[in-house]
Amino acid sequence: MGLAPPPHRPHAHSASTALPGTASQHEADPLAAVRAGTWFSQLPPALQQALLDDGTLRRLVPGETLFARGDRFDGLYCVASGTVQIHASGESGKAALLGLLEPGTWFGEICLFDGLPRTHDARAVSATTLWHVPRAPLERRLAQQPAWWQAFGQLLAAKTRQAFDYVEEAQLLPPAARIARRLAAIARGYGNLPVPAHAAQRVRIPQEQLAQMLGLSRQTVNHALRELEARGLLRLEYGGIELLDLPALEALN
């Protein structure tokens, strides 16, 4: 099975981790995950309030495209609920899955710094709610408060460090360790979810997608998952994977 159909078509599979809180809590505060996200929660209160004052909710249906590579920069986004897939498609039609963004994750900041078009495609994997801070008020705020640029620089730097880590892992680590670390990263929302260290987490991602994300074969991924399961680090379930020991998965080498 291929990874991702054309962006305008719904995709049959979804990927998500357990979210903090309950459905009723989300209905009471649709921005609960935005507020709880690691980056946002550490911002100066005035900047937090500005992002909340200037933004609006946007809802996507499964498979709906948010933006495509080459689109004009229209502001920053944060996943409030659901999952967003970041991917790229080559001229041959082959798709590369680059990331699955969970609630609490902000994205789109690259264009904030260089003003150039979008670098990749973003689409909703499942029914998704986003917090959108448009470009104009964002740039106006930054012109008024230049010190706030540092916070967005930290957001960009964290993702740059993460990208270097993935390049290093691809060259130095065996498949099982790479898979273990990526699953743990997804469970933690790539550092954006305040997940307790020893809490079991469920990740819903087809093995085909996991394989494409890591540049491995489907067979290699399946063999490595069975190995990790035999070691008691995870449990394979229908439609998902339960991660039993996040610290151990993250430390695997």
Residues 190 and 235 sit within 8 Å (Cβ to Cβ): no
Residues 253 and 165 sit within 8 Å (Cβ to Cβ): no
- Quick one: pLDDT band at residue 139, thresholds 50, 70, 90? very high
Is 14 inside any structural domain? Answer: no
Give pTM, 2 decimals.
0.80
Order the strands of the 234-237 sheet from edge to edge: 201-203, 240-243, 234-237
Residues 126 and 64 sit within 8 Å (Cβ to Cβ): no
Identify whether residues 33 and 72 lie together within a single domain: yes
| Identity at 1, one-letter amino acid code | M
103 or 90, which is more confident: 103
pLDDT number for residue 203: 86
Measured from the Cβ of residue 208, the count of other Cβ atoms closer than 10 Å reads: 16
| pLDDT surpassing 60 at residue 101 | yes
Considering just the CA atoms, what is the radius of gyration of the chain in Å? 18
pLDDT number for residue 98: 87
pLDDT number for residue 71: 96
* Residue 200, both tokens: 């079991």
Segment 163-214, tens digit of pLDDT: 899 899 999 999 999 999 999 988 887 777 766 656 678 888 888 889 989 9
pLDDT number for residue 202: 85
Residue ending a domain, choose from 98, 133, 164: 164
Identify whether residues 54 and 75 lie together within a single domain: yes
Residue ending a domain, choose from 129, 144, 164: 164
Identify whether residues 93 and 159 lie together within a single domain: yes
Segment 214-226, tens digit of pLDDT: 989 999 999 999 9
pLDDT number for residue 152: 97
Identify whether residues 38 and 97 lie together within a single domain: yes
Segment 24-63, tens digit of pLDDT: 445 689 999 999 999 999 999 999 999 999 999 999 999 9
Range of the domain at 34: 23-164
Burial of residue 142, with CB atoms counted within 10 A of its CB: 0-12 exposed, 13-18 middle, 19 or more buried: middle
Taking residues 11-32, report their average pLDDT: 52
Nearest to 78 by CA among 16, 138, 121, 35: 35
